[in-house]
Amino acid sequence: MATYPQEQARPAVRPTLSERLRGLVPERWYIHVLLWIVCFIIGFPLFYAILVATQTNSDIYAYRFLPGSSLPENWNVVMNIAKLGGYMVNSLFIAIVVTVGKVVLSLLAGLAFVYFRFPGKWLVFGFVLITLMMPTEILILALFRLVNSLGWGNTYLALIVPFLASATGSFLFRQHFANIPSELSEAAQLDGATPMQFLLRILIPISWNTIGALTVIQFVYVWNFYIWPVLIINGQERQVVQVGLRTLMGGDTQTRYGPMMLGAVIASIPPVIVFLLLQKQFMSGFTLTRDK
């Protein structure tokens, strides 16, 4: 309690002190230093991977911290022997299709759950809810047999259709729509708007943050597909990039790290670009829809 008056007295002294400091160093310089250190540690693995992508194995073992000269040669291995370009195109294609499909289906589901009354809603809702507990990874063996019996084995359909529905996305939009004042839909109905018109003209324009957040999450999710394509896709023609990277791991022969790192770096470019482009929406999509 004795310190209480002192605390009150402080404001009178403080400004002059901080004003003097402000001119010399950046405000709160130690925070900058700490942030620099943390950014460096987090960034180091990728930085090192990029460096190694230009080197040969002997450069690596000699711990050279300067770019090597074998980037063209490594590029040749990655693109012409491992043929990573084809894998990239496949991954890009399915990631875009699944992401768009998921956003559309989730928007529709959110619309149905929030702006309609129908019998058995809790049942339908529960039906979707429970799927949150069913990770595809656990079901892959049975899913493999099912998808093959549909004749979709080794096709893009196998990588796309089972993943179009999303409990996560449906809930995300349900939550988001539920927070929108109901006057909006009442007004729309007075104007004679159909539900689809309401969705397209009013809901979507005010949902870009949520859409952006879902897009980032789903794009990254699909881009990271690994175990499922290992099973269902055979042959290189339609294989995805995460599996394709295996071609760069020397099996029973010496691994050449240069091409492997170059491949890893190249494979990381699309999701990072999507993340950077939608960063603003991604971050505010979270703040907006988070539960109270």
Partner 1 sequence: MQGWIPALILGIAALLGAVFLYNTVGRGHRASLIVLGAGALTGVAGALLFMLPLNFCTFEQEHDIIDQVFGVLLIAIGMAITLLPARWVLTRLLNKQSFLAVDASPGAFKGIILPFVFLAPTLIILAVFLYYPSLETFRLSTLLARLGAPRTAFVCVDNFTRLVDDSTYFNTVVVTLLISLAIVVIGLILSLFVAVLAYQPVKGARIYRTLLIWPYAISPVVAGVIFLLMFNPTGGIINYGLDSVFGIQIPWLNDPSVAPWAVILASVWKSMGYNILFYIAGLQNVPKDLLEAASIDGANLVRRFLQITIPLLSPITFFLVITNLTYAFFETFGTIDYLTGGGPLNSTTTMMYRIYQIGIRNNDLGKAAAESIILFVMVIGLTVIQFRTSGNQVTYGA
Partner 2 sequence: MKRFSLLLAAVAMLLSAIPAFAQEPVDVNVWIAFTDAGRLGWAQDRAAEFNEMFPQYNVIIEGYANYEELFAATALAAEQDSLPAIVQYFEVATQDARDSGYFTSIAEALGDRTEINGLSVNLDDYVAPVSAYYTLDGEFTSMPWNTSSAIWFNNMNYLNEAGVEIPTTWAEVEAACEAIMALENAPEYCFTFPNHGWFFEQWLAQQDAEFANNGNGRDARATEVTFANEAGVAVLEWLNDMMDKGYLYYSGAQGGASWATVDQAFSSQQIAMAAYSSSDTATYTQVGVDNGFEVVASFLPYNDATGWTGNLIGGASLWLTAGLPEEVEDGALSFLVYMTNTENAASWHQVTGYIAIRESAVEALSDEGWFEENPNFRVASDQLSQSTVTTATAGAILGAFPSIRNVVTQAIDTVLLTDEDPATVLQSAQEEANTMLEEYNLLYSE
Pick from partner 1, partner 2, none: which does 19 bind, CB < 5 to 8 A by kind? none
100 contacts partner 1 (rule: CB under 8 A): no
Would you give the distance in Å from CA 118 to the centre of its chain?
34
Stretch that binds partner 1, among 16-24, 75-83, 201-209, 283-291 (CB under 8 A): 283-291
Residue 270 to residue 70: CA distance in whole angstroms:
24
Rule CB under 8 A: say whether 39 interacts with partner 1: yes
Scanning 108-116, 144-152, 177-185, 218-226 for contacts with partner 2 by CB under 8 A, the matching segment is 144-152
Query: Least CB distance from residue 232 to partner 2, whole Å?
Result: 8
| CA distances for 257 relative to 74, 82, 251, angstroms | 9, 14, 13
Contact (CB, 8 A) for 264 and 78: no
d(CA 132, CA 143): 17
List own/partner pairs for 112-115 with CB under 8 A and 24 or more apart.
113/170, 113/174, 113/177, 114/173, 114/174, 114/177, 114/178, 115/177, 115/185, 115/195, 115/198
Q: Which of 83, 101, 72 is nearest to 243 (CA)?
A: 83
CB of 41 to partner 1, least distance (A): 9
Q: Binding string to partner 2 for residues 2 to 41, with x set by CB under 8 A, is what?
A: ----------------------------------------
SS3 225: coil
Q: Which stretch binds partner 1 (CB under 8 A): 13-21, 69-77, 81-89, 129-137?
A: 129-137
| 139 belongs to the binding site for partner 1 (CB under 8 A) | yes
Please give the angle made by the CA atoms of 217, 148 and 88, to the nearest 5 degrees. Answer: 40
Query: Please, which of residues 51-90 interact with partner 2 by CB under 8 A?
Result: 61, 77, 81-82
Closer CB to partner 2, residue 240 or residue 248?
A: 248
Whether the CA torsion 236, 239, 245, 250 is positive or negative: it is: negative
Q: Least Å distance between CB 76 and partner 2?
A: 9
Interface with partner 1 by CB under 8 A: which range of 14-22, 39-47, 67-75, 77-85?
A: 39-47
Distance from C-alpha of 236 to C-alpha of 256, rounded to nearest angstrom:
21
- The nearer residue to partner 1, 154 or 268, going by C-beta atoms, is 268
Sign of CA dihedral 217, 205, 126, 229: negative
Among 203, 247, 267, 281, binds partner 1 (CB under 8 A): 267
- The verdict on 154 binding partner 2 (CB under 8 A) reads yes
User: Binding marks (x or -) toward partner 2, 194..223, rule CB under 8 A?
Assistant: ------------------------------
Q: Which residues, in sequence order, are CB contacts of 156 under 8 Å at separation 6+?
A: 90, 93, 94, 97, 238
The residue range among 160-168, 181-189, 240-248, 268-276 that interacts with partner 2, by the rule CB under 8 A, is 240-248
Q: Are 202 and 188 in contact (CB under 8 A)?
A: yes
Residues 246-285 that bind partner 2 (CB under 8 A): 246-256
Question: Contact positions toward partner 2, by CB under 8 A?
Answer: 61, 77, 81-82, 144-145, 148, 153-154, 231-232, 234-236, 246-256
